[in-house]
Amino acid sequence: MRVFSVHSVAFLALALLSCTKGEQQLIRHEISASAGDNAAVKSELSPGDATKVYWSVGEHVNVFVGDVSYDFIGSNSVPAASAKFTGSAPAALGTYVMLSPYNGSATNSGGTISTTLPYIQISRAGSFLAGTLVLAGQSNTSSVTCNHVCSGFRFKLSTEEDISQVRLRGLNGEKIAGNFTFSFSGANPVASAGTQEEVVLTPSEGTYFAKDQWYYIAILPTNFTNGICVTALSASRGAGTFTVSDNSKTNFLRARFKSKTGLDEDMTWPSSTGTVDPGTIEDLAFEDL
């Protein structure tokens, strides 16, 4: 029987460790990312103002190389629709997938990525922050174009009300938010069903929703075949409901946000004497990109 000395065993262990590190050697990479046309959302904050998604300063994103995710950080000094992200990844990136916002629990298994859909977005100076909407892109070069993996509903309240909560749900129980998976069909990310049937939105600042402020609810691309229902909760008036049962108006495509102004005016409240025919609401419509 051959006997190894303590020094021999230590040397062998060090050699094996060195080989392992060599196989997983990481180097610094720089990726130029842009928000594609499918990440543009038309803004009504001023007439004709076309708004792009902006990467925020120092934003973190996932870069998947195979099934492993790496944390890349934006190096731009001001919010912009195009930005450079740097991080450490294997020497040969090959085909990679970039995901925003960064999610430490996101996984990639066989080309299908699992992540979570954030659903609260309040418009700020006519622009979006990329960290509140899911964007993804796939590339085999140092440049990648990222597009939405989501759709959404936007609204504003036309009167001063003590509304503290707004809910959006489909009338046939579609899964519209929560954890979901997506893969790529060409350059575009294609999302699967989520885990949440209802989205609940509360103001990010203050106690109640502000008058004439656009609010956005990001959801998964969904065709609500039986329509949708929006519910607002008011401390003084109770729960108001706004329903659209015409399914020709409830097909939420990828990267499209449907719009509703004066939402509170068209709601049916417990104290209201009149009702609103949900089939006659015409301004719930796709925004042109």
pLDDT digits (tens, 9 = 90+) for 106-161: 999 999 999 998 766 565 445 566 777 789 999 999 999 998 888 888 888 888 77
Q: What are the φ/ψ torsions at residue 103 (nearest 5 degrees)? A: -135, 110
Q: Tell me which H or E stretch contains 18.
A: helix 6-23
CA 157 remoteness from chain centre = 23
Q: In the chain, count of helices (H) and strands (E)? A: 1, 26
pLDDT for res 155: 84
pTM of the predicted model over 0.85: no
Residue 163 pairs in a beta bridge with 234
8 Å CB contact between 100 and 74: no
Helices (H), the chain: 6-23
Cα separation, 248 vs 242, in Å, equals 16
pLDDT for res 71: 97
Cα separation, 123 vs 102, in Å, equals 21
Residue 216 clears pLDDT 50, i.e. is over it: yes
Residue 289 clears pLDDT 90, i.e. is over it: no
Pairing of the two strands 215-219 and 120-122: antiparallel
Cα separation, 233 vs 240, in Å, equals 6
3-state secondary structure of 288: coil
Short-list 168, 177, 255, CA closest to 215: 168
Q: How confident is the model at residue 24 (pLDDT cuts 50, 70, 90)?
A: low
Domain extent listing, the chain: 26-286
* Tokens (6 digits) for 263: 């939402």
Length of the chain: 289
Q: In which order are the strands placed within the sheet that holds 215-219?
A: 120-122, 215-219, 151-155, 257-260, 285-286
Short-list 133, 200, 197, CA closest to 164: 200
